[in-house]
Amino acid sequence: MSLAVLGAVTVLLLAGCSNASTSASTSTSNAPGVSAHEISVGAIATLSGGLAADFAPIVPGVRAYLDMVDAHGGVYGRKIVLTHALDDGTVNNAAVTRTLIQQDHVFAVVGEATAFFSGQPFLVQTGTPTFGFATQNDWSPYKNLFAAYGSVLDYATTEPFFPYLAEQLHARVASVIAYNVPQSSDECADALKGLRSHGITVGYSDLAVPYGTSLSSDVVHMKQAGVDFVVSCMDLPGNLTLSRELQQNGLTGVKQVWLDGYDLSSLRKYPSLMQNTYFLLQHVPFQATSQFPGEFPGLEQYIKVMNRYEPAYTYNEVAMEGWLSAALFVDGLRAAGPAPTQKKLIDAINHITNFTGGGLITPINWEIAHTVVTSPTCETFVEAVGETFKVVFNRGRDIWVCFPTHGTSRLEPVAPPPGSPGA
C-alpha cells in the first residue's frame, strides 16, 4: 500500500458509481469509558456490503493487538476492551459516530475505516482520540486524529519512486493509467510528473478511465507507443483487466507497478496475470520474515499474534492498519500515566517522535505528522514471483528506498531514518 489512498480507490468508485504490561496501582479517572479495571474503546468501519473487504479488516487488527496487551496485564492494571465495533454501512458514519460517543461513551475510537469520514467534525468537536485508516486528507491537521501512517496524504512525496523503479527495470517507454476520480487520478498525476521530470519517456497516459470500462483502446495505444512499463492507480479488478488486455495484445513482457493488489490470495488465484508486477508498500513486507529470518522481530510478533487471535487476517494490509492504530493508542496510554484523560492521551502521542508500531514502519514523528509527511519518505518494493511476493531493491536487511520530501531532484536514495526496521 503506497499510501492509505489505495483502499479509497476501490471504495469511492464502488460507492459513488514494546508489548509488556505496564504495572502500577490503578488511579481513578473521570474520563469517559475508564473504570478501575477497564478502558472501553470503540471502532467504526464499513463492516457490511460490497465495500466491507476494503475496511472491515481493521477491526481484527485492533482486536488482536489489544488481546495481546490484555494477556500481559493491560495498561496500569486496566484491560483495554473493544466494547463496540459499529458498522457505518458506508453512508452512516456521522450517525454511528454520535452513537459511539454519546450513547456508548467510549474513551477513544481505535479503528476508524470508511470511505466517507462524515463523523470527523464531531470527533474533532468532542476531542475524541481517533485512530485508523485515512483515505482522504480529512485527518489533517487535527491533533486528536491519528492515521496509521501519518495524517497527511501528500502524493507529491511519492514522485521519485516511479522513475526510480523505471530506471531499475531499464524501462524505455512508460505509460500511466488511472480512474476518473481524484483518489485515483491525483496520485497518478504526480507519478506522471515524476516520470517526465526525471527524463523517462511517457508514451501514453490516461487519467480518466471510467470504472468498469474496457481497457482495450488504452492497451492498443500502449502497444503503438512501444510501452514497456505501466504505472496503474486502479484497483485490483482494474489491474487484472489491464493485464489480460496486455497479454491478449502480445505485451507479455511489460513491467507494471500497481498501487493495489498486494494480496497473497489474489496472487495464488491469478498468478499468470500478476507476473512482472511490482508493489510499493509503506510497511515491512509480510515476506520479510522468510527472506531475512530474525531481522524483523516486530513483523514476526505481528504474524505470531495475528495467527493466534485473528488468523484469517494475518496477511491483510488493512488489518495491519488496525494493529498500528492500536499500537499507537497503547503507546500513548502508557505515556499518559495511570489516571488517563483524553487530553493527556492526545498530548502524550503528540510528543512521540519515533513511532514504528513495534518495528513495522519507518518512524513517524507525531510532533509534525498531522500537517506534513516525515522526511525522508520511504517505501519498500515487492515483486510477484510465481505464487508469492519477493522483497526487491533491498540492500541486505535494509529493505527501504527513501527520498527526501523536498530539496532534491536526484534519484539517489538516502538512508532511512534512524530506528527504521532492518536499517
Both 219 and 116 in one domain: the answer is no
Both 205 and 188 in one domain: the answer is yes
Both 338 and 391 in one domain: the answer is no
List, for residues 319-336, the tens digit of each pLDDT value: 999 999 999 999 999 999
Both 194 and 266 in one domain: the answer is yes
pLDDT value of position 24? 42
Beta-carbon count within 10 A of 232 CB = 27
pLDDT value of position 11? 45
Question: Is 245 within the bounds of a domain?
Answer: yes
pLDDT value of position 51? 86
Question: Which cell goes with 45?
Answer: 468501519
Give the residue carrying C-alpha cell 481517533. Answer: 130
Counted domains in the chain:
2
Question: Is 361 within the bounds of a domain?
Answer: no
CB 184 within 8 A of CB 236: no
Both 116 and 175 in one domain: the answer is no
Question: Is 357 within the bounds of a domain?
Answer: no
Both 127 and 176 in one domain: the answer is no
Both 180 and 327 in one domain: the answer is no
Beta-carbon count within 10 A of 213 CB = 13
SS3 labels along 86-145:
EECCCCCHHHHHHHHHHHCCCCEEEEEECCCCCCHHHHHHHCCCEEEECCCCCCCCCCCE
Nearest C-alpha neighbor of 163 from the set 204, 187, 195, 197: 195
Question: Is 368 within the bounds of a domain?
Answer: no
Structural domain for 169, as ranges: 155-281+376-403
pLDDT value of position 102? 97
Q: For residue 187, what is the domain's CATH number?
A: 3.40.50.2300
Buried b / exposed e along 279-293 (16+ C-beta atoms within 10 A): bbbbbbbbbbbebbe
CB 158 within 8 A of CB 403: no
| pTM of the predicted protein model | 0.91
Both 160 and 276 in one domain: the answer is yes
Helices (H), 254-375: 264-269, 271-274, 288-291, 297-309, 317-336, 342-349
CB 109 within 8 A of CB 44: yes
Question: Is 410 within the bounds of a domain?
Answer: no
Both 123 and 165 in one domain: the answer is no
Residues (pLDDT < 70) of the chain are: 1-29, 407-408
Rounded Cα–Cα distance for residues 108 and 324 (Å): 15
pLDDT value of position 30? 77
Rounded Cα–Cα distance for residues 230 and 237 (Å): 16
Beta-carbon count within 10 A of 62 CB = 33
Both 124 and 183 in one domain: the answer is no
Both 145 and 159 in one domain: the answer is no
Question: Is 164 within the bounds of a domain?
Answer: yes
DSSP state of 347: H
Question: Is 330 within the bounds of a domain?
Answer: yes
CB 190 within 8 A of CB 159: yes
Both 395 and 252 in one domain: the answer is yes
Question: Is 328 within the bounds of a domain?
Answer: yes
